Structure 1
Amino acid sequence: MEAVMISVLGLFALGIICWEAWRERVRASKRIPAEWQAALGRIANEQELGHYRHARQGILQACRRIEHHQDSARLAKHLHVRLAGLLARDPIYTEVVRTIRSACAEEPAVSEVVLCLTLGDYLVEDIRQCMAIAESFGQIRRRDAGADSLVIPRPTPSM
């Protein structure tokens, strides 16, 4: 009888240890790694200082890092949401995406040259940077058509 009680007590203790280890693993998977927290903090600081081009460059690098490193899907989605929140504060990015969508309301695609001429108040470097980010987020896709590149909006962004 004592052997059965000790065995049951041992199994109960083992069950508690396994349950705690599983809980800690779940908690760890929900946290963002420190390197990503630092990167997001740097991007946010750049935006607060008004250095939107540097912030967009950081966002583009983060998107490429997510694509190449294939972090967990949950972490990648969470990082995309955080990066999208930072992009919402960027005046040029929102204007570029809005212009692409409105230009493609009548045509299925818009020429990159026409887009740059339409957004004449902004530098071509900024416009191309915004298009690269939008392509990383799945909002648009680009297709080469001879000497020019066509920009095609996607109806629903995929992340």
Structure 2
Amino acid sequence: MHLSSFAKRKRALVALHRKEPMLKAEEFLCMSQGNCLFSAITGKGENIFVSIPERFRNAYYFSTNAYVICSPLEMPKVKGEVVCLLSDDQVLALANSSDWPEVFTHLPEGRTGKNTKNEAYLDADALPPSDAEAGEDEERYEGESSSSEESNDDCRK
């Protein structure tokens, strides 16, 4: 019995993601620079070629600046093979631990923890007016309507 392409993709994605992002023995962390056979930057700052196993190639697109865990390979040009893709939350968890290389300064956008309770999550223009602002708007509109009525009365005379 053959698996459908959807089932193959689903199994590959489950195998590609780990629940625990900790590095095992001899594994190293890389930041991807492309897809399929791509160049990656190691924790030491060197550019190497890393391969993706065939079961992952058509199942997932590895975006630029995505972090992956690789196992070493003993080949002349290709130095590693992708074992795991790290999610944004896993990257932040590793960045706070001692396993994170200092070379990697790029963290996922919007999740750097810079927002505090005092800062607005959305722009003020995107939100509906608050009660205080609504009262000010009503007063302004009432003032405009009374002045427009006066100008209409002046025109009628």
Q: TM-score, normalised by structure 1?
A: 0.23
Q: Which has the higher helix share?
A: 1
Q: TM-score, normalised by structure 2?
A: 0.24
Q: Which has the higher strand share?
A: 2
